[in-house]
Amino acid sequence: MMKNSIIPLVYGLLIGKSTNDYNLFFEKVLEQDNFQPDSIMIDFETGTIKSVKEMLPNVLHKGCLFHFGQAVWRQVQNKGMATKYREDESFRLNVKKLIALAFVPVGDVIKAFGIVAELFDDDADDLLDYFEKTWIGERKRRGIFLNCCEFLLSFYIKLRVGRKDPQFAHQLWNVYDRIIAGVPRSNNAVEGWHNAFASRVSINHPNH
């Protein structure tokens, strides 16, 4: 990025999206003496993320906000809730609030998710389960028997004892720090270059 303009400097024509494919690409890029990025923005593809961790371990990794929102929207569709999203204003707003968690300070993400999750109706449980496991971290639970006095109120309860690691760490998809720093939250500018190139070659996956 130079003077608020994004200029692609390197193009990689890969034969696939595996970790090895990306590793080979980064090996070539890293051969350049002046390649010392402060951060790298990536999509939420497993092969890309693993490769970046292996090849650029000391560089700040951030996910693209646009692709984060797209991932959530795809799940709304996969869960059969696209019609509800279009017709139910409250549900639509709540889904947007899930995506807006990317703007919350990282340390407040779990608390904020709990507040937003309470706004959904029961028919959104599958969507919330997906979001929790993928982006927040599924709750760990253990059962504890109550003492005799508490037994009259309930026989058994579940206590929260932390969370499992989510598929994508909070720091990867959260953009609060980028907002504060005034740097881009998505790679849409580069996607524009990709689309222009794709239109010239006529097909999206020329290796297929």
Mean pLDDT by 10 residues, the chain (208 residues): 70 87 92 82 90 91 93 97 97 98 97 97 97 95 50 44 89 93 69 62 58
Predicted pLDDT at 77: 98
Contact 25, 47 (CB under 8 A): no
pTM: 0.77
> What is the rounded CA–CA span in Å between residue 75 and residue 71?
7
The DSSP secondary structure of 152-167, one letter per residue, reads TT-SEEEEEEEEPPPS
pLDDT of residue 126: 97
Secondary structure (3-state) at 15 = coil
> What dihedral angle (degrees, nearest 10) is formed by the CA atoms of 158, 159, 163, 167?
20
- Position 117: which residue type? A
pLDDT at 32: 84
Point out which residues pair with 39 in neighbouring strands. 60
For position 10, what pLDDT does the model report? Answer: 80
* CA pair distance 136, 102, nearest whole angstrom: 11
Q: Which residues pair with 42 in a beta bridge?
A: 63
Convert 76-105 into a string of H (helix), E (strand) and C (coil).
HHHCCCHHHHHHCHHHHHHHHHHHHHHHCC
Q: Give residue 201's pLDDT.
A: 63
